[in-house]
Amino acid sequence: MIYAQILAGGKGTRMGNVPMPKQFLSLADKPILIHTIEKFVLESRFDAILVVCPADWLSHTQDLIKKYISDERVHVVTGGSERNETLMNGIHYIHENYGEHDDDVVVTHDAVRPFITQRIINDNIEAVLKNPAVDTVVPAIDTIVQGTENKIDDIPVRSTMYQGQTPQSFNIKTLVSSYESLSDAQKETLSDSCKIVLLAGQPVKMVRGENYNFKITTPYDLRVATALVETRS
Amino acid sequence: MLNQVYRLVAARQFEVQTVAETVTDNDIVVRPRFLSVCHADQRYFTGSRPQSVLRKKLPMALIHEGVGEVVNDPKGEFKPGTLVTLIPNTPFGTDPIIKENYLPTSKFRSSGYDGFMQEYVVMHRDRVIALPDGFDMQMAAFIEMISVGVHGLTQLEAAMDADSNTIGIWGDGNLGYITATLVKQFFPDSKLIVFGRHQSKLDYFSFADKTYLVDDIPADLQISQAVECTGGRGSEMAIAQIVEHIRPMGTAILMGVSEDPVGIDTRNVLAKGITLRGTSRSGRADFERALKILSASPVTRERLQNLVGLTRKVSTIQDIIDFFEGDLTNYWGKAVMEWDV
């Protein structure tokens, strides 16, 4: 089975003094999260689409989905305290409600990347059916500098540098076994889901994202996103 | 729904624009699959329309010929995955006399109204028709152009006199080939003669009863009815030859688009009582008739599949530019891109 998991667990701590988590803020008259879900429901190959949100915002998320989305495949699940726990909560929901199958895959996506395209979703599905894990990337435009304490340690060759986006897609069995092999310290510090399978020695396939598939994290991002969207006259 | 629209902003320059779409019960959301390039698109791409026109119409998504896959129908009439042909003419009114493609209030895709180069196209419900099984997708991409040929010949049927002995087609390009193919279905008992400038292109018209190079037409040759499919600068010479070779009271359907006005020998048009009838674009009825003809005639489908020329999958804006550039040097056939952007 092919699942989608939209990660809406963020609390919006980088969005300044905004009281509401960023995925619920409005872009072109709709919550950002709804724009993202709308893209996923257009893909008929998904057997279920999970929206994983903070516990405090569960009913709010359910209300929004009831208002804007009419697709029985969409389910709201409570997330965890950090990204990978949120991800694994969604996997537990899948196991409890749909069972476990060796060829199950999940396409995970940040709720705050509403500019996701059909092509990127399709490329993820195609790639994850053939590979244990998939990351969506764009080539780095700026030079990436690695450093500590205000000093450069290294300047890697730019042509081998990419910026990670989402979706990140996984064979669920591989993801679970990789996650279980991590130490508690690793689980707490890992900010990227693909690194879970990478640390377990599994290959991660890259698919091409788009520069405009950016994450709306700061007030500046939201202003840019708002400026990018035109309303059809 | 946030939709990525790939618009031409200036000659040879495309940009992606995010558009917030509203999907009503009267709409259907379609994912374009195969898109076919028309000369009209190329005139925008190369910037060969007058600057005043470009200023008015751009930025705009190009392409008005395509086949797509239904991804969402709010009413559930079309199942997701249904392949549909897309009707670019979009009426916003009706008239008991005037056909939808001549109503000034109608909007036409890729002519001041975004065409099909979009991530998803939100189409009015009556602007899509399910494709019969077994159609070649690349051929299906240019059903719109086939419907234009159907429209031209339907207008000929309505306007012509009783003489259907010989039908002459001027033009050895894509429109000439499509229309000639359709003549064999509309007028199966008529003699089909095709007039063109290139012997190598006329060689593709193996189903025609006779072909002539336009500088080698016998002086005494007569045709009953004519269809002009040249357009551009060739229109003037084609119309002059039609007026010369058509029998009195014959009808000529004019289908080729010319940017500049062309001279017409009205003295002989009057003297011979010739009917000149312009046609442009097509409507839903023409699409339906085109699908009926194609479904019933495998040989017509096969002939039209032979018109598929340049084909390529496009995934990036650079791919799109390369595809349009490639089409400019493509000698024969329709350029069809597999839309994967």
The yes-or-no verdict on residue B341 having pLDDT over 90 is yes
Mean pLDDT, to the nearest integer, of A121-126? Answer: 98
**Bond into B248 cis (ω within 30):** no
Q: How many other CB atoms are there within 10 angstroms of residue A93's CB atom? A: 19
Residues from B contacting A (CB-CB < 8 Å) are: 1-2, 4, 16-22, 29, 31, 71-72, 80-81, 119-120, 122, 315, 340-341
Q: Does B69 carry a binding-site annotation?
A: no
* Tens digit of each residue's pLDDT (9 = 90 or more) over B256-280: 999 889 999 999 999 999 999 999 9
Backbone angles phi, psi at B329, to 5 degrees: -105, 10
Which residue type occupies B81? G
Cα B152 to chain center, whole Å? Answer: 10
Q: Does B38 carry a binding-site annotation?
A: yes
- For residue B17, the distance in angstroms to the closest alpha carbon of chain A comes to 7
Residues from chain A that touch B20, judged by Cβ atoms under 8 A, are 28-30, 229-232
Q: What domains, with CATH codes, occur in chain B?
A: 2-142+307-339 (3.90.180.10), 149-278 (3.40.50.720)
**Residue A80: pLDDT band with limits 50, 70, 90:** confident
pLDDT of residue B271: 98
Question: Is A229 in contact with B119 (Cβ distance < 8 A)?
Answer: no
* Tens digit of each residue's pLDDT (9 = 90 or more) over B192-234: 999 999 999 999 999 999 999 999 999 999 999 999 999 988 9
Q: Which residues contact A41 (CB under 8 A, 6 or more apart)?
A: A49, A69, A71, A73, A74, B72
* Tens digit of each residue's pLDDT (9 = 90 or more) over B9-24: 999 999 999 999 999 9
CA dihedral B60, B65, B69, B73 (to 10 degrees): 70
Give strand pairing partners of B311.
B336
Nearest to B340 among A38, A119, A212 (CB): A119
Closest by alpha carbon to B256, among B238, B242, B244, B274?
A: B238
The yes-or-no verdict on residue A14 having pLDDT over 80 is no
- What's the whole-model pTM score? 0.93
Question: Is B2 in contact with A118 (Cβ distance < 8 A)?
Answer: no
pLDDT of residue A16: 60
Give strand pairing partners of B150.
none
Question: Is A232 in contact with B119 (Cβ distance < 8 A)?
Answer: no
pLDDT of residue A185: 84
DSSP string, B116-169: S-BSSEEEEGGGEEEPPTT--HHHHTTHHHHHHHHHHHHHHHHH--S--SEEEE
Residues from chain B that touch A43, judged by Cβ atoms under 8 A, are 71
CB pairs under 8 A between A and B: 58
Tokens 């008929």 -> residue: A44
- For residue B31, the distance in angstroms to the closest alpha carbon of chain A comes to 9
Residues from chain A that touch B2, judged by Cβ atoms under 8 A, are 28, 35, 38-39, 114-115, 229
* Average pLDDT taken over every residue of chain A: 93
Picking from A29, A73, A117 by the largest number of B CB atoms within 10 A of its own CB, the best residue to mutate is: A117
Q: Does B144 carry a binding-site annotation?
A: yes
